[in-house]
Structure 1
Amino acid sequence: MQRPLIAVLLASAFTLYANAAQAADLIQVYQQALANDATYASARNSLTAGQERIAQGRSLLLPQVSLSGTHMKNNGDMTPVNEGATTVVDGQPTFITRRDTDNSQNVYTLQLSQPLFRWANWQQYQQSKLAQAQAEAQFAQAQQDLIVRVAQAYFDVLTAQDNLASIQAQKSATTEQLASAKRNFEVGTQTITDTHEAQAAYDLVVAQEFAAINDLEVRRTALQQIIGTAPASLATLRTGVTIAPPQPATIEPWISSAEQQNYGVAVQQLAVEIAKREIERNRAGHMPTVDLVAQSQRQSQTAYGVTKNNAIGVQWTVPIFSGFQITSRVRETIALEEKARNDLEATKRSAAQNARQAYLGVNSGLAQVRALEAAEVSSKSALESNKLGYQVGVRINIDVLNAQRQLYSTQRDLAKARYDTIMNGLRLKAAAGTLKEADLAPVNALLTNG
C-alpha cells in the first residue's frame, strides 16, 4: 500500500516541476485571463443583463392578466325611524325594532388587458432591441480590450525581464573590469583613476539592478491582476524574429474601417438610434391609447347571495393637458439626441486617430527595429575593438565599460522596439474593429520556451 502512494506523490511532484519549468506563452496567459479577469467577467455579466432587454420591451405589447380580490366583513345595525311602532306581519301585530346588519362580502376579479394602440410601448420595444445590440457591441469591445491588456501586460513583463538581464550583464562585465583595474593598479600598469572609474560604474549598475528588480515585480503584479494568479515564467521573443508589416499597407483603409467598424463607434451609433426612439416615445404622450379589456367578476354576500358578471370591451384614453410636461420632455430628448450625435462624431474621430497613431507606430517601429539591428552589430564590433585596444594599451578601462554599456542598451532597446511594434499592430486592428482572438496566434508563433 505504501509503494503506490509514494509513486503517486513522486509523479505529482515531477508533474508540478515539469509545469513550473514549462514557460507559459501568450495564448495560455490569455486563456487564464478569460477565466479570471474581473473586468472581462463584469462585461460578460453586462451582456447577460442586456440580452434581457428585448423580452422586457416585448412584454409591453403582450396581454396583461391579473387576479384581484377583496374580503370584507360588515358589522352594524339599522335603527328604523319608527322604532316602537306596531305593524302587521303575517296577520300578527309586530313591534318595529332595531335589527342587526352583519354580513360578509367576497369579490374576485380576473382581468385581461391587451394593448391595441400604445405608441410609447412600441417605441420602447424598438429601443429594447437597440439596447441589446448595444450590449453586444460593448461586450465585443471588452473582448478586444482584454486581448490588448493581456498582450501589453505580457510584453511589459518581458521588457522588465530584458532590462534586468541587461543590467545584470553590465554588472557582470563591470565586476570583471573592476577586478582587472585593481590588479593592474597593484602591479603598476594602470593608475588609480581607472580603478575609481570602474568602481563608480559598478556602484551605478548595482543601483540600477535594484530598480530593475522592483520594476519587474510591479509588472508581474500587473499581469497577475488580469489573470488572477501569480504568473509563471513566460515564453520570450525568439532572436532575430521578423515582424510582418500591416496589411493593407496604406493607411486609408484602416482609418475608414475605424470610422465604420470600431465597436466604440457602433455603440455610439446605436445610442443615436435609441435617442431618436426616445423622442418618439415622449411625443406619444400626446397620442390616445386604446386597450382591449376583458373582465370576469364574482361577488358573494351573505345577505344577497352570489353575483357573477363578465364584461369585454375597448378602453381608450385621450390626453388633453399635462401641464406642458410632455412638451418639455420632447425638447429635452431632442437636445439629448443632438448630444448623442456629437458623441458619435467625437468617437469616430478618436477611433480614426487611434488607427492613424497605431499604423504610424507599426511602420516607425519596423524602421526602428531595422536600425537597432544594425546598431547591435556595430556595437558588438565596437566592444571587441575596445577590448583589443585595452589589451594592447591604446584604450583605457572606461572605453571598454562604455562600449559594453552601449551594446547592452542597444539590445534592450531593440527588444523594446519589437514589443512596441507588435503591440501597435494589435492596437491597429482593435481601432479598426477587426481584432480577434485568432490574431494572437501569429504573435504567439514569435515566442519560444527556450
Structure 2
Amino acid sequence: MRKNVLLKPLAAAFLMASTTAWSAPGLVDIYQMAVLHDAKLAQARATYQANQEVVSIARAPLLPQLTADGSYVKNDSNKDAYDVTTQELGLNVTQSLYQHDNWAKYSQAKYQLQQSEYQMKFAEQDIIVRVADAYFKVVLAQEDVTLAEAKEAADKTQWERAKASAEVGLASKTDVLQAKSSYDLSKSDRITAQNNLDVAYDELMKLTGKEVHELKVISLNTKLPSQTLNLNDWEMRAQENNLTVLQQEEAANVASEEIEVQKSGYWFNVNLQAGYNDMSYSDTASGYDAQYTDRNNLSIGVYASMPLYSGGGTMSQVAQARSNYKAATAGLRDARETASLDARIQVRNVQRGQELVTANRAAVQSNDAFLEAAEEGYKVGLRNLLEVLTARTNMFQARRNLAESLHNVVLSRLKLEAAAGSLTSDKLEKYDQVLSNPTDEKMPKLDPLDP
C-alpha cells in the first residue's frame, strides 16, 4: 500500500515532465529536415562542386605539357652478325606562348564558376521560401479544419435545437430547414478542409522526407513587429543583389568571352617545344658496328601557325557568339526588371499585410461581440435563427482571415528578403520564435442556444 502511495506521485511527475518536454516542430526544425533531404538543393550543391573543376580544366592548356616515350626493339636476323637490340627514351615538353582561345576559355571558366556559386546560393534561398510556404499551408489548412469542425459542431447543435423547438411549437419548419442546410454545408466544408490538409502534409513531406503530424502555430493574439519599408531602397537592393540577376550577369560575361573564344580563328598560335632523345644499341655484331652507335639528341624550338581561311566558319561562329551575347544581355535586363517588380510587390504585400492583420484582428473582436449579441437576441426572440447562423459563420471566417493574414505577412517578408538577395536561415529563426505549440483552445467554446 505504501509502495503505491510513493509510485503515484512519481508517475505523475514523469507524465508532467514528458508533457512539458514535448514540442511540435517549428519552422527551423522543418528547414533543417529539408536541407538534409531536398533534391533540388542537393542537385545545386553537387553541380557547384563539379563546376569547381572547370577553372582547373581551363587553366591546364596554359601550363607546360610534358610527355615521355620509350621503346625496346630486338632485331633477330638469320645472320648473327646483323642481330641488334635498340633502346630508345624520349622526353618532350610543350609550352603555349600564345593561344588566344586558351586565355579566353580560362577567363570564361572563372565566370562559369561564379555563376554556379550564385545558382547554389539561389537554391539555398529558395528552400527557405519553399519551406515557409509549405509550412504555412499546413498550418492554415489545419486552421481551416479546426474552424470547419467547430462550425459543423455548432451547426449540428443548432439543428438539433431547432428540431426540439419545432416539436414544442417554438420554431418553424423553415428554421429547421435553415439549420439543416447550414449543417450539411458545414459537413461538406469540413471534408474539403481535411483533404486540403492531407495534401498540404504530403507537399511538406516531399521537402522533409519525413512525416510530420503537428506543427507550431502563430497564435491569433501574436503581434508581429511592425516594419517600415522604403520602396526605392528595396527596389535598388533587388536590382543589385538579387541572385537571379547575379546569375544573369555572369551568364552575360560567359557569352562575352565566348566571342573571344571564337575570334581565336583569326589569331596566330605560338608554342615553345623542347625534346630530349636517348638511343642505345646492344648485341650488335660486326655488321652494324659502324651504323649503330649510341647517341642522344636535344632539340628546342619555337613554332608558330596562322589560320588563313576556314571556309567562312570562323566568321559564322563569331556572329553566332555575338547573337548569344545579345540574348544574354536581354536576359539580364529581364532579370533586373523582374527582381525590381518582385521587390515592389513584396513591399506592398508586407505593408498591406500589416494593415490587414490590424483590420482582421478588429473584425474578430467585432464579430465575437456581434455573435454574442445575436445569440442573446435569439434567446429573447429579437433575432431569428438565420441571423445567428450568419453571425457564427462570419465569426469563423474572421478568425480564419486573421490567421491567413498573419501567415502571409511572414511569408511576404521572407520573399522580400529573397528578392533582395539577403534571405538567410537567420531570418527564419526570427519568425520561428513567435510560434508556439498548438493547443486545444483554438476556437471558443460556444454554448448551445436555448430556444
- Cα deviation for residue 246 of structure 1 reads 4.0
Percentage identity across paired residues of the two chains: 31
TM-score (norm 2): 0.86
The 8 Å contact of residues 76 and 83 in structure 2, kept in 1 or not, is answered as yes
- Based on CA coordinates, which of the two structures has the bigger radius of gyration? 1
Matched, 1:32 2:33: yes
1:317 match = 305
Letter aligned with residue 302 of structure 2: V
The 8 Å contact of residues 358 and 424 in structure 1, kept in 2 or not, is answered as yes
Letter aligned with residue 51 of structure 1: Q
The 8 Å contact of residues 293 and 312 in structure 1, kept in 2 or not, is answered as yes
1:426-441 equivalences under 5 Å are 426-441=414-429
Q: Distance in 1 between matches of 2:267 and 2:75?
A: 44
- Cα deviation for residue 293 of structure 1 reads 1.3
The 8 Å contact of residues 220 and 402 in structure 2, kept in 1 or not, is answered as no
The 8 Å contact of residues 371 and 391 in structure 2, kept in 1 or not, is answered as yes
Return the match for 1:225 from 201, 206, 229: 206
- Cα deviation for residue 141 of structure 1 reads 0.9
- Cα deviation for residue 137 of structure 1 reads 0.9
Q: Distance in 2 between matches of 1:187 and 1:159?
A: 42
Return the match for 2:432 from 444, 447, 450: 444
- Cα deviation for residue 107 of structure 1 reads 4.4
1:256 match = 236
- Cα deviation for residue 340 of structure 1 reads 0.7
In structure 2, relative to structure 1, the CA distance for the partners of 1:14 and 1:373 (3 Å cut) is closer
In structure 2, relative to structure 1, the CA distance for the partners of 1:100 and 1:203 (3 Å cut) is farther
Unaligned runs of 5+ in 1: 1-9, 78-97
Matched, 1:348 2:349: no
1:419-430 equivalences under 5 Å are 419-430=407-418
Q: Distance in 1 between matches of 2:255 and 2:366?
A: 62
1:197 match = 178
1:188 match = 169
The 8 Å contact of residues 295 and 311 in structure 1, kept in 2 or not, is answered as yes
Task: Name the SS of the counterpart of 1:123 in structure 2.
Answer: helix
Return the match for 1:406 from 394, 419, 433: 394
1:270-419 equivalences under 5 Å are 270-299=250-279, 304=292, 306-419=294-407
Q: Distance in 2 between matches of 1:447 and 1:399?
A: 35
Task: Name the SS of the counterpart of 2:332 in structure 1.
Answer: helix
The 8 Å contact of residues 294 and 313 in structure 1, kept in 2 or not, is answered as yes
- Cα deviation for residue 224 of structure 1 reads 0.7
Higher alpha-carbon deviation: 104-113 or 390-399: 104-113
In structure 2, relative to structure 1, the CA distance for the partners of 1:99 and 1:364 (3 Å cut) is same
Q: Distance in 2 between matches of 1:379 and 1:76?
A: 113
2:449 match = none
- Cα deviation for residue 99 of structure 1 reads 11
1:56 match = 57
1:145 match = 126
Q: Distance in 2 between matches of 1:211 and 1:392?
A: 36
- Cα deviation for residue 233 of structure 1 reads 1.6
Letter aligned with residue 233 of structure 2: P
- Cα deviation for residue 101 of structure 1 reads 7.7
Matched, 1:211 2:199: no
Q: Distance in 1 between matches of 2:19 and 2:49?
A: 39
Letter aligned with residue 151 of structure 1: A
Letter aligned with residue 275 of structure 1: A
1:229-240 equivalences under 5 Å are 229-240=210-221
Q: Distance in 1 between matches of 2:279 and 2:227?
A: 78
In structure 2, relative to structure 1, the CA distance for the partners of 1:14 and 1:118 (3 Å cut) is farther
In structure 2, relative to structure 1, the CA distance for the partners of 1:197 and 1:305 (3 Å cut) is farther
Task: Name the SS of the counterpart of 2:349 in structure 1.
Answer: helix
Q: Distance in 2 between matches of 1:408 and 1:243?
A: 22
Task: Name the SS of the counterpart of 1:168 in structure 2.
Answer: helix
In structure 2, relative to structure 1, the CA distance for the partners of 1:165 and 1:100 (3 Å cut) is farther
Unaligned runs of 5+ in 2: 1-10, 439-451
Return the match for 2:149 from 168, 171, 184: 168
In structure 2, relative to structure 1, the CA distance for the partners of 1:352 and 1:221 (3 Å cut) is same
- Cα deviation for residue 315 of structure 1 reads 2.1
Task: Name the SS of the counterpart of 1:230 in structure 2.
Answer: coil
Q: Distance in 2 between matches of 1:422 and 1:328?
A: 52
Q: Distance in 2 between matches of 1:53 and 1:103?
A: 49
1:88 match = none
Q: Distance in 1 between matches of 2:72 and 2:267?
A: 38
- Cα deviation for residue 245 of structure 1 reads 4.1
Task: Name the SS of the counterpart of 1:60 in structure 2.
Answer: helix
